[in-house]
Structure 1
Amino acid sequence: MSQAIFHWLAFAAIVVLSACTSPTMTSQRQGEPAPATQPQQVTLDENSQIATGQTLYIPVYPYIYYEDQRRIFNLATTLSIRNTDLADSIIITCVRYYNSEGQLIRQYLERPIQLAALASTDFFISTSDNSGGLGANFIVDWVAQTNVSEPIIETVAIGTGFQQGISFISPGKVIQNQTNYTCSLS
């Protein structure tokens, strides 16, 4: 009799446990990226205290040449901005995209955005967008109201086709230190 009760309890436990699901798995299918949260917009003015900041130049490669520079291989590009500070936020004041001739193609922010400690954000250029040419670039301005560790700002280029794939990163280069909230080169 006790063996029958044991089997019945084991069966009931299996049924109960198999009915349990993880909340993250029910709200999102496995293998799909988590929905991105939008950084908070902030307002800065002349009275805002700025402790540190920088302007960075980040190369963008919308395509690369192959076969003796006669053909192009289109690439998608993601600009990644990562706050590396463990405790404090940074403020991204401007993200601008320029073409090979140095002409502004697109400005991505209407207002500055705040990235919390260890938060990140990104901006995307599709494979079909060759408007920047081979010398395209991003100019990114960031500031912080306290001394923080410098963010990592880089582009990631990726392309696939013809049973080939290529990907690489291009790190940002500091071209100016910031002591105010305005966009450089505006």
Structure 2
Amino acid sequence: MKLKQHFWVCWAIAAIVPTACSTQTALQKQKLSSEQKTSLRAATVDRAKVVMGQTLYVPIYSHIYHYNSQDHVMDLSATLSIRNTDLTNSIIITSVRYYDTDGQLIRKNVESPVELKPLASTNFFIAADDTSGGSGANFIVEWVAEKKVYEPVIEAIMISTYYQQGISFVSPAKVLKQHGMPN
């Protein structure tokens, strides 16, 4: 009898967890939007004054395969994090573009240049149910600075907590182009 009760309790918990995670994700989306509004403000770029900058590729895994075949897929949420590590100078994010597995542009997350103040951070969220990018999705991020600055930390964090399984990992950015001299 106790075995049956234990089974039903475990089943009930497994049924509740995805719902709780879905609600939390919706709240996190709202919070991220308000964080972006406070950390970013419109900026203009005078290309003649640009001292340094980079174009970066950031891999995004919207799903991964598990078990013994590609038939078993685990959808992941992803957060692109951009952190200005300079203590005194701002950087200007000129472009954040999201591409799918085939290299097709899905959306532009930054339409015009925005300033990221010293030690400020911003992020862009891809929900677990947004499978438009596929397993080979990526962001291309471009930033510049009008003074010599420490390079920002740009990386993606993927996570899933589906059906009592948890997985999370970080995907660092790869520099495609360097503009000017880094510190």
What is the TM-score with the length of structure 1 in the denominator? 0.75
* Aligned Cα root-mean-square deviation (Å): 1.5
CA distance in 2, matches of 1:86, 1:169: 24
Does the C-alpha gap of structure 1 residues 150 and 46 become closer, same or farther in structure 2, counting only changes over 3 Å?
Answer: closer
In structure 2, C-alpha distance between the alignment counterparts of 1:120 and 1:139, rounded to whole Å: 17
Q: Is the 8 A contact 2:157 2:171 kept in 1?
A: yes
Map of 2:97 onto structure 1: 96
Provide Cα deviations, 1:36-84, integer angstroms capped at 9, x if missing partner: 224111122444x000000000000001101222211010000000000
Give unpaired runs (5+ residues) of structure 1.
1-32, 180-186
The answer to whether structure 1 residue 117 and structure 2 residue 98 are counterparts is: no
- Give 4+ residue runs of structure 1 displaced > 3 Å after superposition: none
Contact 2:59 2:137 survives alignment (8 Å): yes
Q: Which secondary structure state, in structure 2, belongs to the residue aligned with residue 85 of structure 1?
A: coil
> Match for 1:148: what amino acid?
V
Count of matched residue positions in the alignment of Structure 1 and Structure 2? 146
What secondary structure sits across from 1:154 in the alignment?
strand
Amino acid at match of 1:67: Y
Shift of 1:178: 2.9
Contact 2:39 2:121 in 1 (8 A): no
Q: Distance in 2 between matches of 1:171 and 1:80?
A: 10
What is aligned with 2:57?
57
- CA distance in 2: counterparts of 1:172 and 1:107, whole angstroms: 18
Contact 2:39–2:116 (8 Å) recurs in 1: no
CA distance in 1 between partners of 2:179 and 2:94 (Å):
11
Larger relative helix fraction: 2
CA distance in 2, matches of 1:43, 1:85: 19
Q: Which structure: larger Rg? A: 1
Indicate the residue corresponding to 2:71 in structure 1: 70
Compute the displacement of 1:87 (Å).
0.8
TM-score by length of 2: 0.76
Deviations 1:96-139 (A, max 9, x none): 00111111111111211101110010001001011111110000
Alignment of 1:1-186 (within 5 A): 36=35, 37-47=38-48, 49-68=49-68, 69-178=70-179
